[in-house]
Structure 1
Amino acid sequence: MIRTIETYITPSQKLQDWAEPVFRVLTSLIFIIGGLGHFGEHQMMLDRMVESPWWNMINMVGNPSWLLWLSGGVFVIFGVMLALGWMTRLSALLIFLTLIPITITVHIAPGHVGPLFKNIAILGSLFLIYCRGPGKYALDNRKISEG
Structure 2
Amino acid sequence: MNKLQQLAAPTGRFFLSLIFVTSGLSKITQYEGTQGYMEAMGVPGALLPLVILTEVVGGLAVMLGWKTRYAAFALAGFSALSALLFHADFSDQSEMTSFMKNIALAGGFLVIFAQGAGSYAIDNRNKNES
Q: TM-score, normalised by structure 2?
A: 0.86
Decide which of 33, 43, 61 is 1:81's aligned counterpart. Answer: 61
Across the two proteins, how many residue pairs are aligned to each other?
A: 126
* Matching of residue 107 in structure 1 with residue 96 in structure 2: no
* Matching of residue 72 in structure 1 with residue 61 in structure 2: no
Partner deviation per Cα, 1:116-139 (whole Å, 9 max, x = no partner):
111011111111111110000101
1:50 Cα deviation after fit: 4.3
Provide the C-alpha distance between the structure 1 equivalents of 2:49 and 2:26, rounded to a whole number of angstroms.
10
Percent identity over the alignment is 31
Decide which of 75, 95, 116 is 1:133's aligned counterpart. Answer: 116
Give the aligned partner of residue 2 of structure 2. 13
Stretches of structure 1 lacking an aligned partner (at least 5 in a row): 1-11, 59-63
Q: Give the partner amino acid of 1:20.
A: A
- Partner SS for 1:143: helix
Give the aligned partner of residue 24 of structure 2. 35
**Greater radius of gyration (CA):** 1
Provide the C-alpha distance between the structure 2 equivalents of 1:37 and 1:69, rounded to a whole number of angstroms.
12
Provide the C-alpha distance between the structure 2 equivalents of 1:50 and 1:91, rounded to a whole number of angstroms.
26
Kept in 2, the 8 Å contact 1:38–1:69? The answer is no
1:66 Cα deviation after fit: 1.9
Provide the C-alpha distance between the structure 2 equivalents of 1:142 and 1:19, rounded to a whole number of angstroms.
18
Computed over aligned residues only, the root mean square deviation of the Cα atoms, in angstroms, reads: 2.0
Decide which of 116, 125, 130 is 2:99's aligned counterpart. Answer: 116
